[in-house]
Amino acid sequence: MQSKRLGWILLAPTLVILFFFGVLPFIYVVYVSFHSWNPFAVNPDMVFNGADNFRKIVFDSAFLNSVGVTVMFVFFAVLSELIIGYFLAQAFMRDFPGKAIFRTIHTLPLIMAPIIVGSVWKLMTTPSIGIIPHYLDEWFGISMNIGTSAPAAFATIVIMDIWHWTPLVTLTLIAALVSLPQDPFEQAQIDGAGKRQIFWHITLPMIAPAVVATVFIRLMDALRTVDEVWMLTGGGPGSATRFVGVHIFKEVFPKTNYGYGSTISVIVLYLTIVSCWLLYVTMLAPRNKKD
Amino acid sequence: MSFAIKLGASALALTVAATASFAESHAEFWKNAAAPYQGVTIRGVTESSPPSLYIREVLAPEFEALTGIRVDVETTSWDQMFDKAIKDMEAGTGIYDMAYIEQDIIYSYLARGFLTDLTGYLADHPALKAPSYDEANFTTFADYFKDADGNLYGVPMEAFLKVYLYRTDLFGDPDIQSAFKAQTGRDLVPAKTHAEYAEIAQFFTEYGKANDMDLWGTTAQAHTGHVASWYEYYESVAPTFGVYNWGIDPDNNYAASTANGGAMNGPEAVEAMTWWLSMRDIAPPESPASTWTEVGTTFGAGRAAQGLVYGENAGWIAADAEKSLVVGKVGVALPPLADGVLAEAESGDGYIGYYDGGAFGMPHSSNNKEATALFLQYIGQNEVQPDWAVAAPRVTNTATYDDPKVVAFNDELGGYYDLIKDKGYLFAGAPAYPFHAQVREATAPIFYQILLGDLAPQEGLDQMAAAAEATLSELWYRK
């Protein structure tokens, strides 16, 4: 009984902080989402408008477009990071000359702030001065202009994200691979299993929790990507890279549409939770049940 | 020694003594007035622009040395500056004692009652009123920061025109002149009409290509995801075709569409958009990713023969050899205009371009109003203006134009200060809309679609006018 009370006492500071800085603001955002509120309107006060904002969001093509673009971005970026990260992790499990140096260089992007990553990539991709369009043109005759080509801008952002975050996936998977017991692999080899069979039936199931955890982290991160995109394209050209985070920012800050912006935030949070839950039930829950 | 020489020497000595004593009495004022606020730190937030950097690097340390009041000036990006200032003033947290007020946002701030009336504040606190500070010293640009009663809400700290810059070396080159004459049948001089401008732009883009030069005929601030492009069109291009105040008529229930009496999608707006897009197409390839900063860089790198460039960049482009490749090769002129626009501007019914700038205001939420009022007066004095005008081309006080340093610098700038002084009245700041950012953000996504060619100019402008009216209705401005 005493240890239970002590537990609560020790937890109390965290719970209080969580309540004030996590739960309370969330409740406030939900409250605001049921209001029309723009401080620069003729009436700058909050006006309760029921579910109007939620009704509006269903037909808001700009919002729906931003969700679509974000989902595409998450799919391409996270999947690529996972595949490349896995192969890099496998490579780092082996010894090769210069491994330590390569691993250090490979990890460097992780320590860079997203806004800096966006700036660096902007410098590298700006037509006329950027190294990437320059060499694409010189070597392959490809004209790249992220200011006019929506596919080029989108692909650049996906590649930038892969460059920035693949090291995180690699490190997580290295940790998972290192901790795997050797017995099942040796037994499988004795039984004559091929590399592909070992991967599908032993490696992947055993590192699945680490893979899911990594996907969770990257999924949530990718869904709220703002800084790099803001710096690189500003959401353009047009709305080709106007991810949902950028859309919320533009709605809430320059447009000061606090009510509707809150509604979008609540819906996006809901979609994020649902996505993570779907991922969990499809990838981990069956395995837990089997165990 | 003759009597005349004696008289002259005496007059000079008297003048020097009087000036020294005047300066000394000023220094005494700052020390005495600031005495109760020694050790206080005041904080300001502003855009990272040359005039603001001068405040941070020069005026703030000078003021601190003089008064003992520390001034921290945070210079950040344009959008972050607004974001931080508005959040602070909205919540009344008092983090910032000074906030940069861009001319186009003042009406929103006044509507929300964010700012302290500086005229009233100094009248209520005569002990803080500096003898060397006088609102009458400011140019008429200060009027943008006054309310209907003439009370000032911000001390002007930058003011400049978005001007037509052209390369004097290219325009004056005899070979180029004859090639241009042979091709077009007219002399190569800065354009007065849009057709002339387009002809020059086309000529130089072809000339650059033919001679394997990194040279194009015009700049274009045509970013496809940043509001800089929206501003270039509405501030600098549309007015030259006779579309003023974004095509919204505040006297007619804020109508934007022609159907309701506005001009946002009228024939002049379509013509302006079509012309501008055609210029964008022959501008340097970085133009679709260019904001105001990159346009300055493009011109400074010698990549454009002419262009519309913000005056804040004109200084370093024309005079800073460390940054610019076209030092001493830059001329300024009025932008090309459609028929009748100049007459409308001269009669006060229209304008020909953007008179940009900003002021430092004191939020109501400031916790250090007394110390802040002193600093704001300090940066508003005539005495500190000339060096500031040379370091970062901006003029906010009338007397600055006649200072010898500024007169000399004006020559380096190709007569830029003369243009502000003599023709500044033809330009105008942003319209007095409290809903500035809201309408801009509502229409900008459609604007980008026009830039990308997803929408034809007429179709896009129709949609923009409808979006503007819908937003104005949502905000209850449009009944």
**pLDDT tens digits, one per residue of B127-174:** 999 999 999 999 999 999 999 899 999 999 989 899 999 999 999 999
| Contact check, Cβ <8 Å, B289/A256 | no
Residue A78 Cα, gap to closest chain B Cα (Å): 25
Residue with structure tokens 């990071």?
A81
- Chain A residues whose C-beta sits inside 8 Å of any chain B C-beta: 36, 38-44, 62, 122, 126-129, 145-148, 150, 233-239, 241-242, 250-251, 253-257
Residue A267 Cα, gap to closest chain B Cα (Å): 21
The residue ranking higher by pLDDT, A283 or B253, is: B253
- For every residue of A38-53, DSSP letters joined together read -TTSSS-S-EE-TTHH
Query: What separation in angstroms does the CA of B198 have from each of A12, B275, B292, B297, B332?
Result: 70, 8, 21, 22, 17
Q: Are residues B141 and B33 part of one domain?
A: yes
pLDDT band, residue B14 (cuts 50/70/90) = very low
Residue B386 Cα, gap to closest chain A Cα (Å): 35
**pLDDT tens digits, one per residue of B320-366:** 899 999 999 999 999 999 999 999 999 999 999 999 889 999 999 99
Q: Are residues B441 and B396 part of one domain?
A: no
**pLDDT tens digits, one per residue of B63-98:** 999 999 999 999 998 878 888 999 899 889 999 999
ipTM score: 0.84
Judge contact between A37 and A258, C-beta under 8 A: yes
| Contact check, Cβ <8 Å, B445/A127 | no
Residue B299 Cα, gap to closest chain A Cα (Å): 13
Q: Are residues B203 and B134 part of one domain?
A: no
HSE, CB side, 13 Å, CA atoms: give it for residue A137.
Answer: 14
> Is it the case that residue B119 has pLDDT exceeding 80?
yes
**What pLDDT, on a 0 to 100 scale, did the predictor assign at position B150?**
93
Is B219 a member of any domain? yes
Question: Mutate which of A38, A256, A257, A258 to disrupt the B interface (most B C-beta within 10 Å)?
Answer: A256
Residue B73 gets the label, from left (phi > 0), alpha (psi -120 to 50) or beta, of beta
B328 touches chain A (CB under 8 A): no
Is B301 a member of any domain? yes
Q: Are residues B212 and B201 part of one domain?
A: yes
**pLDDT tens digits, one per residue of A93-138:** 999 999 889 989 999 999 999 999 999 999 999 888 899 999 999 9
Is B457 a member of any domain? yes
| Contact check, Cβ <8 Å, A40/B111 | yes
Q: Which are the contacts of B145, defined by CB distance < 8 A and separation ≥ 6?
A: B101, B103, B106, B152, B153, B154, B156, B359, B361
Is B461 a member of any domain? yes
Query: Mean per-residue pLDDT for B432-447?
Result: 94
What is the total count of domains within chain B?
Answer: 2
| Contact check, Cβ <8 Å, A147/B303 | no
**What pLDDT, on a 0 to 100 scale, did the predictor assign at position B166?**
97
Distance between CA atoms of B300 and B318, rounded to whole angstroms?
8
Question: Mutate which of A47, A128, A145 to disrupt the B interface (most B C-beta within 10 Å)?
Answer: A128
| Contact check, Cβ <8 Å, B451/A238 | yes
**pLDDT tens digits, one per residue of B218-258:** 999 999 999 999 999 999 999 999 999 999 999 999 999 99
| Contact check, Cβ <8 Å, B224/A236 | yes
Q: Residue B326: exposed, middle, or buried by beta-carbon count in 10 A (0-12, 13-18, 19+)? A: buried
Q: Are residues B364 and B220 part of one domain?
A: no
Q: Are residues B171 and B64 part of one domain?
A: no
Contacts of A243 in chain B (CB under 8 A): none
Q: Are residues B199 and B290 part of one domain?
A: yes
From the list B289, B294, B475, the residue facing A38 with the nearest CB is: B475
> Is it the case that residue A269 has pLDDT exceeding 70?
yes
Q: Are residues B316 and B408 part of one domain?
A: no
Is B398 a member of any domain? yes
Range of the domain at B343: 161-354+429-474
From the list A41, A146, A241, the residue facing B289 with the nearest CB is: A146
Write the DSSP symbol of residue A233.
T
What element of type H or E holds A82?
A: helix A61-93
Question: Mutate which of A56, A255, A260 to disrupt the B interface (most B C-beta within 10 Å)?
Answer: A255
Query: Mean per-residue pLDDT for B194-222?
Result: 97
Nearest CA in chain B to A255: B438
Within chain B, what is the greatest distance between any pair of CA atoms? 83
The residue ranking higher by pLDDT, B18 or B148, is: B148
Residue B458 Cα, gap to closest chain A Cα (Å): 17
Q: Are residues B271 and B226 part of one domain?
A: yes
Q: Are residues B141 and B28 part of one domain?
A: yes
Residue A111 burial (CB count, 10 A): 8
Contacts of A44 in chain B (CB under 8 A): 112
| Contact check, Cβ <8 Å, A255/B442 | yes
Looking at residue B254, its amino acid is Y
| Final residue in a domain of this structure, among B379, B396, B421 | B421
Helix/strand/coil for A208: helix
Contacts of A128 in chain B (CB under 8 A): 214, 284-286, 303
Structure tokens at B230: 């929206």
Contacts of B111 in chain A (CB under 8 A): 40
Judged by average pLDDT, the poorest of B104-108, B176-180, B189-193, B323-327 is B104-108
Residue B284 Cα, gap to closest chain A Cα (Å): 8
Is B241 a member of any domain? yes
Looking at residue B40, its amino acid is V
**What pLDDT, on a 0 to 100 scale, did the predictor assign at position B392?**
82
Total residue count of chain B as it appears in this document: 479
Judge contact between B198 and B275, C-beta under 8 A: yes
Which residue intervals of B185-332 are DSSP H helices? 194-210, 228-231, 267-281, 292-300, 311-319
Smallest Cα–Cα separation from B135: which of B148, B122, B116, B124?
B122
From the list A62, A238, A254, the residue facing B224 with the nearest CB is: A238
> Is it the case that residue B15 has pLDDT exceeding 50?
no
Residue B108 Cα, gap to closest chain A Cα (Å): 6
Question: Mutate which of B89, B105, B221, B224 to disrupt the A interface (most A C-beta within 10 Å)?
Answer: B224
Q: Are residues B191 and B255 part of one domain?
A: yes
B57 touches chain A (CB under 8 A): no
Domains in chain A, start-ordered, CATH in brackets?
Answer: 60-290 (1.10.3720.10)
| Final residue in a domain of this structure, among B376, B400, B421 | B421
CATH value at residue B69: 3.40.190.10
Helix/strand/coil for B269: helix
| Contact check, Cβ <8 Å, A148/B224 | yes
B236 touches chain A (CB under 8 A): no
| Contact check, Cβ <8 Å, B448/A126 | no
Q: Are residues B92 and B51 part of one domain?
A: yes
